[in-house]
């Protein structure tokens, strides 16, 4: 009987710790996109997650480990949104739908929930190796997702077009978010979409 009670307490404690960890990562994934890596402090994350600053090291060995996990979550969220777009349309419309969603006014405004590459691109080169590894993996996955929409997928031309498409998408969104003129931001996105969807 004592073992059952002890196991129940341990399981409840483990579940509570996992829920807290999940909350921290979720908050951090939004925070890095909103404030950047350098603008995301441990104390602020823990406060927003409803936990004490001292509890941080029960979940992560370092700030860099938290940032890497937050980046992984942000990339997974972005990949899931892309997969949803692809699944919602016929195969021959997938690429155009992906591009329209990425360069949309909604995505432009959704910094906290949007593409982490556009939100964090200029900062990533100065981050710890584990953070850069997450970013590299996500870029490769995005390139593959774009290349798969090409009729000549698997050929060098499809891969090269995917590289240019990703660079254009991310660069356009970064610039559109950087300017303080909404009309210019819209023009940047519309021009890139027009060029990328030319057949």
- Among candidate residues 19, 146, 122, 135, the one with its CA nearest the CA of residue 73: 135
Residues in the chain: 199
Q: How does pLDDT run across 84-130, given as a tens digit for each residue? A: 998 999 988 999 999 999 999 999 999 999 999 999 988 999 999 99
Sign for the CA dihedral angle at 28, 34, 38, 44 comes to negative
> How far is 149 from 171, CA to CA, in rounded Å?
21
Domain range summary for the chain, segments of one domain joined by +: 2-196
> How far is 162 from 195, CA to CA, in rounded Å?
14
Task: Tell me which of 99-113, 142-156, 161-175 is least confident.
Answer: 142-156
| Whether domain 2-196 has CATH 3.50.50.60 | no
Q: How does pLDDT run across 47-71, given as a tens digit for each residue? A: 999 988 888 988 999 999 999 999 9
pLDDT at position 14: 76
Task: Kindly write down the DSSP assignment for every residue of the chain, as one continuous string.
Answer: -HHHHHHHHHHHHHHHHHHHHHHHHHHHHHHHHHH-STT--HHHHHHHTT--GGGGGGT-SSHHHHHHHHHHHHHHHHHHHHHHHHHTS-GGGHHHHHHHHHTSHHHHH-TTTS-HHHHHHHHHTTS-HHHHHHHHHHHHHHHHHHHTTSTTTTSHHHHHHHHHHHHHHHHHHHHHHH-S-HHHHHHHHHHHHHHHT--
pLDDT at position 16: 77
Is residue 186 packed enough to be buried (19+ CB in 10 Å), middle (13-18) or exposed (0-12)?
Answer: middle
**Mean pLDDT, to the nearest integer, of 165-185?**
97
């Amino acid at each position: 009987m004592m073992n059952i009670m002890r196991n129940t307490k341990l399981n409840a404690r483990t579940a509570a710790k996992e829920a807290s960890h999940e909350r921290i990562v979720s908050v951090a994934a939004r925070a890095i996109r909103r404030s950047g890596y350098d603008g995301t402090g441990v104390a602020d994350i823990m406060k927003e997650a409803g936990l004490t600053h001292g509890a941080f090291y029960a979940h992560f060995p370092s700030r860099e480990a938290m940032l890497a996990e937050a980046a992984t979550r942000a990339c997974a969220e972005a990949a899931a949104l892309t997969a949803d777009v692809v699944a919602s349309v016929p195969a021959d419309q997938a690429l155009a739908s992906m591009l329209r969603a990425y360069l949309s006014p909604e995505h432009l405004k959704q910094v906290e929930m949007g593409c982490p590459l556009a939100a964090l691109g200029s900062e990533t080169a100065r981050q710890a190796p584990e953070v850069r590894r997450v970013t590299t993996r996500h870029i490769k996955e995005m390139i593959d997702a774009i290349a798969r929409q090409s009729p000549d997928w698997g050929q060098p031309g499809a891969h090269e077009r995917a590289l240019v498409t990703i660079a254009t998408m991310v660069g356009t969104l970064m610039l559109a978010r950087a300017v303080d003129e909404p009309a210019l931001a819209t023009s940047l996105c519309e021009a890139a979409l027009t060029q990328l969807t030319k057949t």
